[in-house]
């Protein structure tokens, strides 16, 4: 009995240690996009920062169909974070467009501007959006922000969607189909120098279909989330002149019920280690505190508001 009495504290200590070892760091998922776009590597870069510098969390990037899928997954609690284009986030928050009711979303921060690339090949005979009538056009993957943008641009410029032979392909599927001649044009929405477009330009005579100033103004008047953006000449092989296009911001969104402390730590850690994100892609130059809220129609999460009010942009996340 004396021996049992002496052993009991040690047994309790061992049991407590085993219980502690059984505890696991929670894993959070960030819904991104396809591997040929920028959302996936950008999301992976953010996940690496958070997993490395926030010991209480582990974050992984998840391949998805894109913006529409991402906001739905976040709203349902299937993903803790998601990257999505501004028009999709706005529609989801307001319950308009493809969303029959408002989704419980908040913006954690704005990521970077996406550029709408309208792709074709030099011998396609397509010089303008109007020339797409009767042509085979990839609108982007089902559930993606690219598909939303493609439909908005075509209809915004007066084309009926039935006037084109629409197909819905991923970035990689779009560029492969252009190479194979199974489509005539396609939409790819992503940051400058996106891999899918860069690779296409290396193997084929790429043409970027430009918009006129009047067309940009018309779409902007209908959908303020879009603005004019010049794709600089020489960004892609063989395209030597600037191309007038459209730009639209992407944002990282979370559920409105995410704990304030978690949202604060995620935001603060991201900006404190911004240099690591730049190693993933130069588009991260736009991921600044000054650009933290480029979607005025959708509120920031209270954790982000706390970050801004605390002055923790200097990298001290202990406030």
Angle between helices 171-180 and 195-203 (to 10 degrees): 10
Q: Dihedral, CA atoms, 51, 47, 235, 158, nearest 10 degrees?
A: -160
pLDDT, average across residues 234-249: 96
Element (H, E) at 249: strand 243-255
On whether the 114-248 domain is CATH 3.40.190.10, my answer is: yes
pLDDT-derived band at 23 (thresholds 50, 70, 90) equals: low
Least confident window among 10-14, 42-46, 190-194, 305-309: 10-14
Alpha helices in the chain (DSSP H): 2-22, 39-53, 67-76, 86-94, 145-156, 171-180, 195-203, 213-222, 260-272, 274-278, 302-310
pLDDT in the model for residue 272 = 95
Query: Please, where in the chain does CATH 3.40.190.10 lie?
Result: 26-112+250-314, 114-248
pLDDT in the model for residue 313 = 67
- Give backbone dihedrals phi and psi of 112, rounded to 5 degrees, phi first: -165, 165
pLDDT in the model for residue 13 = 41
Strand pairing class (165-167; 227-231): unpaired
CB-based contacts of 70: which residues, under 8 Å, 6+ apart? 31, 32, 33, 64, 79, 82, 83, 84, 253
pLDDT-derived band at 314 (thresholds 50, 70, 90) equals: low
Residues of the chain with pLDDT > 90, as a percent, come to: 80
Quick check: helix, strand or coil at residue 259? coil
Q: What is the pLDDT of residues 109-156, one digit of tens each?
A: 999 999 999 999 999 999 999 999 999 999 999 989 999 999 999 999
Superfamily covering domain 26-112+250-314: Periplasmic binding protein-like II (3.40.190.10)
pLDDT-derived band at 86 (thresholds 50, 70, 90) equals: very high
pLDDT-derived band at 181 (thresholds 50, 70, 90) equals: very high
Burial class (CB in 10 A: 0-12, 13-18, 19+), 183: buried
CB-based contacts of 142: which residues, under 8 Å, 6+ apart? 65, 168
Q: CB–CB of 261/312 below 8 Å?
A: no
């Amino acid at each position: 009995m004396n021996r049992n009495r002496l052993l009991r504290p040690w047994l309790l200590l061992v049991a407590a240690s085993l219980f502690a070892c059984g505890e696991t760091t929670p894993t959070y998922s960030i819904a991104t996009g396809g591997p040929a776009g920028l959302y996936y590597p950008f999301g992976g870069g953010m996940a690496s920062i958070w997993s490395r510098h926030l010991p209480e969390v582990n974050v992984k990037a998840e391949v998805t169909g894109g913006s529409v899928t991402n906001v739905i997954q976040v709203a349902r609690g299937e993903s803790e974070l998601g990257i999505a284009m501004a028009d999709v986030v706005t529609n989801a928050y307001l319950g308009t467009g493809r969303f029959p009711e408002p989704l419980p979303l908040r913006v954690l921060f704005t990521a970077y501007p996406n550029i709408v690339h309208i792709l074709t090949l030099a011998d396609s005979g397509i010089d303008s959006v109007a020339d797409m009538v009767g042509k085979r056009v990839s609108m982007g993957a089902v559930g993606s922000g690219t598909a939303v943008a493609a439909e908005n641009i075509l209809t915004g410029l007066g084309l009926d969607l039935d006037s084109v032979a629409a197909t819905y392909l991923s970035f990689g599927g779009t560029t492969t189909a252009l190479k194979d001649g199974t489509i005539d044009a396609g939409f790819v929405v992503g940051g400058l120098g996106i891999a899918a477009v860069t690779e296409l330009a290396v193997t084929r005579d790429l043409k970027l279909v430009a918009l006129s100033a009047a067309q940009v103004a018309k779409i902007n008047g209908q959908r303020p989330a879009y603005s004019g953006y010049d794709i600089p000449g020489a960004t892609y092989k063989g395209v030597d002149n600037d191309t007038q296009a459209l730009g639209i911001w992407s944002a990282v969104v979370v559920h409105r019920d995410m704990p304030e402390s978690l949202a604060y730590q995620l935001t603060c850690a991201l900006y404190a280690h911004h240099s690591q994100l730049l190693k993933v892609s130069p588009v991260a130059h736009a991921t600044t505190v000054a650009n933290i809220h480029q979607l005025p129609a959708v509120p920031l999460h209270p954790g982000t508001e706390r970050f801004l009010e605390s002055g923790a942009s200097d990298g001290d996340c202990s406030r």
